[in-house]
Chains A and B, each alone.
Chain A
Amino acid sequence: MKAILGIPMAFLKLFYQSIYLALGQIWANKARSILTTTGIVIGVASVTSVIAALTGLKANVLSNFESLGTNKIFISPHRPREGRFKSASWRLIRFRPEIFEGLKERCPSIDDHTLMAEGSEAVHYGVESIDSARVYGINPSWHRIENRSVVMGRPFTLMDEENGWQVCLITPKVRDELRMDRNCIGKRIVVGQRSFTIVGVVEQRVESSMFGGMGSSQEVFIPFPTAWKLWGPWTWMYAIASCRKPELSAEAQAELRFFLRQTRRLGPGDPDTFRLEVIEEYLKQFNTVAKTTTAIAGGVVGISLLVGGIGIMNIMLVSVSERTREIGLRKAVGARPAAILFQFLVESVVLCLFGGLIGAGCGQLLTELIAKIPGAALDKAYIPLWALGLSFGFAAATGVFFGMFPAIKAARLDPIEALRHE
């Protein structure tokens, strides 16, 4: 039993011994230790704060995308470039409402979906008019998917849809352009050639700070079945689906694709006759850019760690040569070469980890400063755990790598020569 425990115990003791000696040595040379480790401090501080800044930037961009809806999937008809639909007529390619029947049951990752028909019409109210307002045919689920609720009046109901009633929702902008009262519920406006009753007001489109306003904000909404009936099968029809979680986006797309290929009766070799588009795609591109930036920044600050490491190696070499007599003495009283090696190695690793710790603290301070820069869009900057682990790992590796040569030099000293050293 003692023999089995002997080796790990001896190793443990060597380790403990080395840490004891190394800490004593660092404490004895406080000023020099602090100066030596400055390189590592700067390296780790810059690594962590740069990563924190990039993380903050990413979080900011992500939240901007979030306001557009990262979990939205746009489904639109698309004529493939090859295959048997290459020259198919638009009549074959376009969507019909029937193909979306049963979507909810068949695609578990899809939270909800709305059919969309889109057109441009003139709108009249009394003498006032808007030449071309965007007119959308929507399902009631649209409010949830687009995250735009009804601020006055009511949304469309099942009755509106089933009876094809001529009711509409408008945006405050349209109301103001038509010079209507604030409470415009129940008023009738003319959209195209037909008269519609206003049942509610939909909140204005969110103007994204990053992507600007896309499309006009003069919008009129009518129930999808009404639009389909009015404009007939020649309208531009598409759909928007939302998945349950942003992470499920890929799964939801796969389900949708499978579902649509079935309802559109596509053969195994046929290319898709529809297109699925996700804002996620743009997010992915941004992520690639962010990753590249992180890597480049990491490489640049990695150089500062390298410089710090060379500083450590230099000071360790100085330490070995000025303590040659001490090493000789330690060997004379029975220190094994391994004990001397470990002592110096642990000393340099402890120096580096110490530097890493101070560096992480400085990095945290820097990060808090960065977060306070006005208008830099970095208020979400924080140091992710992996960055801390990475910089500590690098600091320790620097210690081992640059401490190895001086430590080997010390361990190989001949005790007689070392004791004779001046």
Chain B
Amino acid sequence: MSTTSNAPATPTPHSRIVIRLDNVTRVYKVGVERIHALDGVTLELRQNEYVAVMGPSGSGKSTLMNLLGCLDRCTSGVYELDGYDTTRLGAGGLAHIRNTRIGFVFQSFELMGRSSALKNVEMPLIYSRDGWWSRHKRARQMLERVGLADRVKHRPNQLSGGEKQRVAIARALVCNPSILLADEPTGNLDSKTSEDILRLFDQLHAEGQTIVLVTHEESVARHAKRVIRMMDGRIFTDLSSEEDQAQRAAMAEHFGEVLK
């Protein structure tokens, strides 16, 4: 079967390019072995895109997330974020990029248990260049935006799973990032709460937020407007949500026939 590496699925040529990966590789050395976690990924993401990255474990999607989130550096290739080349930045420079341009949402929320929701949301502002003085106001506004205006003083252990993830999303957005990176954001939630969180993502997308979501659940990926499937460190398919669904249906039919 031929690899179909199509052009971006939702071409919105007028909007700005946020992320540009050009032939990016990431090689881990384990003993004498060299593992190609990413093996030549080329990708463009425009503003206000809503992308789901899917793939089996070991396909390189986590490595891709770490790279996109500037937590890791690529072995070769170019990664441009908002037009800046990030490949040559040091640890401090990358920290600054993470602070101002990237928001993370994790599967296990990663909230500080001893601090209130407000303090958790304030946290990135402590490290920002100009957010220090306005941090209370901005954190409060952000909690209102995710629908937690009445949970400001609550600690994480007084919140439900969905509320915790909302706090985490508020924290990710408090510095007005260019992209929101969510790594299995619904992995620890039941299906109803997951739906709530995904609706929040839809709402944020409607408000203009660029979102990249890593998941292995088809129901989650269905919310995205573009689906990237990865395999062995490469992009396997890159289609719009509708095309992706259609192709899957076709494949299911095809395999069904073969198996018969």
Taking beta carbons and an 8 Å cutoff, which residues of A are in contact with B? Answer: 13, 17, 20-21, 28, 325-326, 329-339, 415-416, 419
Stretch in contact with the other chain, from B97-105, B143-151, B251-259: B97-105
Comparing B124-132, B158-166, B198-206, B219-227, the segment that makes contact with chain A is B124-132
The answer to whether A332 touches B112, judged by C-beta atoms less than 8 angstroms apart, is: no
Q: Given A332-B69, A333-B104, A415-B71 in contact, is the A339-B127 Cβ separation under 8 Å?
A: yes
Contact in complex: A336, B91 (CB < 8 Å): yes
Q: A13-B132, A416-B66 are in contact. Are A333 and B72 (CB under 8 A)?
A: no
Given A13-B132, A416-B66 in contact, is the A333-B171 Cβ separation under 8 Å?
yes
Kindly list chain B residues whose C-beta atoms are within 8 Å of the C-beta of A338.
92
Is residue B14 contacting chain A, with contact meaning CB distance below 8 A? no
Minimal Cβ-Cβ distance residue in B for A329: B110
Interface SS of A by simple majority: helix
Asked whether any CB of chain A lies closer than 8 Å to the CB of B175, the reply is: yes
- Report if B106 contacts A (CB, 8 A): yes
A143 to chain B, nearest CB (A): 74
Are A333 and B71 touching (Cβ within 8 A)? Answer: no
- Chain B residues with CB under 8 Å of A325's CB are 110
Sample 13 A-B pairs with CB under 8 A, ordered by A number.
Answer: A13-B132, A17-B127, A28-B114, A330-B127, A331-B71, A331-B95, A332-B69, A333-B124, A333-B175, A334-B100, A336-B127, A416-B66, A416-B71
Known A416-B66, A419-B110; contact A337-B95, beta-carbon cutoff 8 A: yes
Shortest distance from the beta carbon of B168 to any chain A beta carbon, whole Å? 10
**B residues in contact with A335, CB < 8 Å:** 95, 99, 127
Q: How far is the CB of A121 from chain B (nearest CB, A)?
A: 91
A27, closest chain B residue (CB): B114
Q: With the chains together, A415 CA to B128 CA distance in Å?
A: 18
Determine whether the beta carbon of A337 is less than 8 Å from that of B92.
yes
Q: Are A334 and B66 in contact (CB under 8 A)?
A: no
Binary interface encoding of chain B residues 66-106 relative to chain A, with 1 for a CB under 8 A from any of its CBs, else 0: 10010110000000000000000001100111111000101
CA distance A337 to B89 in the complex (A): 14
Shortest distance between the CB of A415 and any CB in chain B (Å): 5
Q: Is the CB of A333 within 8 A of B92?
A: no
Question: Smallest distance from the beta carbon of B169 to chain A beta carbons, Å?
Answer: 13
B152 an interface residue at 8 Å Cβ cutoff?
Answer: no
Range of interface residues on B (Cβ < 8 Å): 20 to 34
Known contacts A21-B126, A329-B110: does B96 contact A334 (CB below 8 Å)? yes
Q: Identify the closest chain A residue to B99 (Cβ).
A: A334
Which residues does chain A contribute within 8 Å of B98, judged by CB atoms? 331-334
Residue of A nearest to B106 (CB): A419
Q: Does B231 lie at the interface of the complex (its beta carbon under 8 Å from any beta carbon of A)? A: no
Considering the chains assembled together, what is the distance between the CA atoms of A380 and B128 in angstroms?
Answer: 55
User: Which residues of A lie under 8 Å from residue B95 when comparing CB positions?
Assistant: 331, 334-337, 339
C-alpha spacing A335/B94, complex, angstroms: 10
Find chain A residues with CB under 8 A from B18 CB: none
Given A333-B104, A416-B71, A419-B110: 12 more A-B contacts, CB < 8 Å: A17-B126, A28-B114, A325-B110, A332-B104, A333-B123, A333-B124, A333-B171, A334-B97, A334-B99, A337-B92, A337-B95, A415-B71
Q: How far is the CA of A165 from the CA of B247 in the complex (A)?
A: 139
Give Cα A17 to B110, complex, Å: 21
Say how far A277's CB is from chain B's closest CB, in angstroms.
70
- Determine how close the nearest CB of chain A comes to the CB of B248; give it in whole angstroms: 31
Contact B175 A334 (CB under 8 A): yes
Tell me, rounded to whole Å, the shortest Cβ–Cβ distance linking A13 to chain B. 7
B251 to chain A, nearest CB (A): 33
Residue of B nearest to A17 (CB): B126
- Give A328 Cβ to nearest chain B Cβ, in Å: 8
Report B254 CB to chain A, min CB distance, Å: 38
Pick from A326, A334, A415: contact of B124, CB under 8 Å = A334
In the bound complex, CA of A225 to CA of B171 (Å)? 100
Q: Compute how far the CA of A338 lies from the CA of B132 in the bound complex, rounded to whole angstroms.
A: 17
Residues of chain A lying within 8 A (CB to CB) of residue B126: 17, 20-21
**Listed residue (A28, A338, A339, A415) with the most chain B CB atoms within 10 angstroms of its CB:** A415
Shortest distance from the beta carbon of A401 to any chain B beta carbon, whole Å: 25
**Contacts A416-B71, A416-B72; A334 near B112 (Cβ below 8 A):** no
